[in-house]
Amino acid sequence: MTRIVDKRKNGKNRSAVNRRRFLQRYKQQIKRAVADAVSQRSITDIEQGERINIPTRDISEPTFRHGRGGRREIVHPGNEEFLPGDKIPRPKGGGAGGSGSGKASKDGEGVDEFAFELSKEEFMEFFFEDLELPNLVKRKLTAIKSPKSVRAGFTTDGSPNNINVIRSLRSALGRRIALGAPYRKRLREAQERLEALKRHPDPAPESIRELEDEIRRLRIKINAIPFLDPVDLRYNHRITVPQPSTQAVMFCLMDVSGSMDQLKKEIAKRFFILLYLFLTRNYERIDIVFLRHHTIAKEVDEHDFFYSRETGGTVVSSVLELMRDIVAERYDPEEWNIYAAQASDGDNWHDDSPRCRELLLQDILPKVQYFAYVEITPEHHQSLWYEYQEVAAACAHFAMQRIDGPGDIYPVFRELFKKQEQT
């Protein structure tokens, strides 16, 4: 007796729970692996899933088993040259005469990395775990400018265009049933009595007439119940709730003066991309504004921002002024969450640095959620760094870090956006 069943339509993700449990359990190791993976590859394809390696010894399940040593006799197939009693040198690595490599992993050799694939979502989750956007909470509370009307059940009064037909008719039906019930009961009884009388061999005409009259009266009463009554009416109820803004704009500010070589720009780019990916997880819509500057600042598109080269001196204040103007013109801080990241090698025209500090403190920082400054330089700090340090001391939502090389990008990013202790 054989039964053939098609199970293909049944769920295929039976292992989903187990898979999640595994990821949960080895969170620490996976996070480390994710961080390694990020520092090693180009950040532009970071948004893909990732192959993750974690050391097998961390996740192996122990059992009582034999280790190496002692005496063992193992049978192998395919003898060609050996005779009994032959001595052969011990092969290196293998414990038992080149014994099956099937045994090798059991003996803890050979396989020392456990590799698996993370989906894109999982990867990003691990990637940005423990990070948060600074001041997100504060802004949610203050930015309740755009109220949104949402449904909130039904009410008994309202304007006619809000009448909910189904609800209204449903309560009308209920009312009609309730009000008509006593009449219908009497009607039923009268009809039964009438039937009985008619079947009687000797019907009494008066009684029949009386009953017929009553039936007629009851019918009229039932029909007199109004089909729709004002008390039946129900209206859709809507209330307005404040809606935190879910749009953000990210300003990328970069120094493209002669001192910023391609490597430094590449580092800056990676940093900006990280920031962008991070913001996309928090906001529905994100605008990016690319501003680059040498002695004068310019708004450019992405390609120009990263690839075109210009030389010249450096006046950082120019880009800050431009940002201030663009914010005033296009991004009302009441409606937009504004983030800015500035990358520079810190080489500024000396007299300009104090001006930058003033611009930041007075015009820019009051309007933005967060301003991060990264200085990409292996050398000593210059005047801009020291001026910015004063800004950082004065404002909690201004942060600065230095990046030496590509390996620093991710740690610095984490440092800038790590979860702040709630105080």
Partner 1 sequence: MSRRPLATGSEWTFELIEAYDRELARLAAGHGLDTYPSQIEIISAEQMMDAYASVGMPVGYHHWSFGKRFLDVERRYKRGQMGLAYEIVINSDPCIAYLMEENSMMMQILVLAHAAYGHNSFFKNNYLFRQWTAADAIIDYLVFAKNYIARCEQKYGVEAVEEILDACHALMNHGVDRYKRPQRLSLRREQQRQRERAAHIQSQINELWRTLPQRPGERETDDEDRYPAEPQENLLYFVEKNAPLLEPWEREIVRIVRKLAQYFYPQRQTQVMNEGWATFWHYTLVNELYDEGLIGDGYMLEFLTSHTNVIAQPPYHAPHYHGINPYALGFAIFRDLKRICEAPDDEDRHWFPEIAGSDWHQTLDFAMRNFKDESFIRQYLSPKVIRDLKLFSVIDDDRERHLEIGAIHNEAGYREVRRALAEQYELGAQEPNIQVVHMDRRGDRSLTLRHQQYHRRPLEENDARRVLHHLARLWGFPVRLEVVDENGNVESLYDGSPP
d(CA 75, CA 87): 16
Select from 15, 207, 223, 311 the one that contacts partner 1 (CB under 8 A).
Answer: 15
Q: In the range 343-382, which residues lie near partner 1 by CB under 8 A?
A: none
Q: At what angle do helices 27-40 and 409-417 cross, to 10 degrees?
A: 130
Comparison of 76 and 381: residue with beta carbon closer to partner 1:
76
d(CA 308, CA 294): 12
Q: Is 301 in the site for partner 1 (CB under 8 A)?
A: no
Print burial letters for 138-161: b (CB count within 10 Å at least 16), e (below 16).
ebeeebeeeeeeeeeebeeebeee
Pick the stretch among 77-85, 279-287, 292-300, 392-400 that binds partner 1 (CB under 8 A). Answer: 77-85
CB of 249 to partner 1, least distance (A): 39
Q: In the range 25-54, which residues lie near partner 1 by CB under 8 A?
A: 25, 51
Q: Is 13 in the site for partner 1 (CB under 8 A)?
A: yes
Contact criterion met (CB below 8 Å) for 255 and 344: yes
Amino acid letter for position 9: K
Q: Is 92 in the site for partner 1 (CB under 8 A)?
A: no
d(CA 262, CA 345): 12
Q: Is 227 in the site for partner 1 (CB under 8 A)?
A: no
Pick the stretch among 19-27, 260-268, 291-299, 344-352 that binds partner 1 (CB under 8 A). Answer: 19-27
Q: Is 284 in the site for partner 1 (CB under 8 A)?
A: no
CB of 259 to partner 1, least distance (A): 45
Q: Is 84 in the site for partner 1 (CB under 8 A)?
A: yes
Contact criterion met (CB below 8 Å) for 34 and 119: no
Amino acid letter for position 73: E
Q: At what angle do helices 262-282 and 120-127 cross, to 10 degrees?
A: 100
Select from 18, 159, 161, 422 the one that contacts partner 1 (CB under 8 A).
Answer: 18
Q: Is 21 in the site for partner 1 (CB under 8 A)?
A: yes
CB of 128 to partner 1, least distance (A): 22
Comparison of 110 and 258: residue with beta carbon closer to partner 1:
110
CB of 26 to partner 1, least distance (A): 8
Print burial letters for 330-368: b (CB count within 10 Å at least 16), e (below 16).
ebebeebbbbbbbbbbbbbbeebbebbbebbeebbbebb
Count of residues in contact with partner 1, rule CB under 8 A: 69
**Sign of the dihedral through C-alpha 255, 258, 260, 263:** positive
Q: In the range 97-156, which residues lie near partner 1 by CB under 8 A?
A: 97-103, 107-108, 114-117
Q: Is 72 in the site for partner 1 (CB under 8 A)?
A: yes
Q: Is 217 in the site for partner 1 (CB under 8 A)?
A: no
d(CA 40, CA 270): 12
Q: Is 303 in the site for partner 1 (CB under 8 A)?
A: no
CB of 43 to partner 1, least distance (A): 23
Contact criterion met (CB below 8 Å) for 83 and 89: no
d(CA 400, CA 391): 10
CB of 78 to partner 1, least distance (A): 2
Tokens of 29: 């190791």
CB of 377 to partner 1, least distance (A): 41
Q: Is 219 in the site for partner 1 (CB under 8 A)?
A: no
Pick the stretch among 92-100, 206-214, 271-279, 286-294 that binds partner 1 (CB under 8 A). Answer: 92-100
Residue 258 vs residues 294, 344, 401: alpha-carbon distances, Å: 8, 11, 22
Q: Is 76 in the site for partner 1 (CB under 8 A)?
A: yes
Comparison of 7 and 303: residue with beta carbon closer to partner 1:
7
CB of 34 to partner 1, least distance (A): 15
Contact criterion met (CB below 8 Å) for 374 and 271: yes
Pick the stretch among 80-88, 189-197, 289-297, 408-416 that binds partner 1 (CB under 8 A). Answer: 80-88
Three-class SS state of 292: strand
Q: At what angle do helices 409-417 and 262-282 cross, to 10 degrees?
A: 40
Q: At what angle do helices 383-394 and 352-359 cross, to 10 degrees?
A: 20
CB of 88 to partner 1, least distance (A): 5
CA 132 to chain centroid, in Å, comes to 12
Tokens of 104: 């090798």
Q: Is 77 in the site for partner 1 (CB under 8 A)?
A: yes
Pick the stretch among 86-94, 195-203, 235-243, 367-375 that binds partner 1 (CB under 8 A). Answer: 86-94
**Contact footprint for partner 1 (CB under 8 A):** 1-8, 10, 12-15, 17-25, 51, 59-80, 82-90, 95-103, 107-108, 114-117
